[in-house]
Amino acid sequence: MTKLLRQRTIVELAQDGPLPNQQELCKLLGKQGFHVTQATLSRDINDLKLVKTSEGYILPNGDGPPEPMPAASRVVREFVREVRRAQNLLVVKTVAGSAQPVAVAIDAEGWDEVVGTVAGDDTILIISGNNRQARQLQSRLEAMRA
Shortest CA distance to 70 belongs to which of 114, 142, 22, 4? Answer: 4
- At 23-82, the pLDDT tens digits run 889 999 999 888 888 888 888 888 888 888 888 888 877 544 445 556 888 899 999 999
**Domain spanning 3-58 has what CATH number?**
1.10.10.10
Rounded (10°) CA dihedral 34, 35, 40, 46:
40
- Cα–Cα dist 144/107, whole Å: 16
96 burial level (CB within 10 Å; 0-12, 13-18, 19+) = exposed
Domain 72-145 classification at class level: alpha beta
pTM (two decimals): 0.55
CB count in 10 Å sphere of residue 136: 15
Answer whether 78's CB lies under 8 Å from 101's CB: no
Domain ranges of the chain: 3-58, 72-145
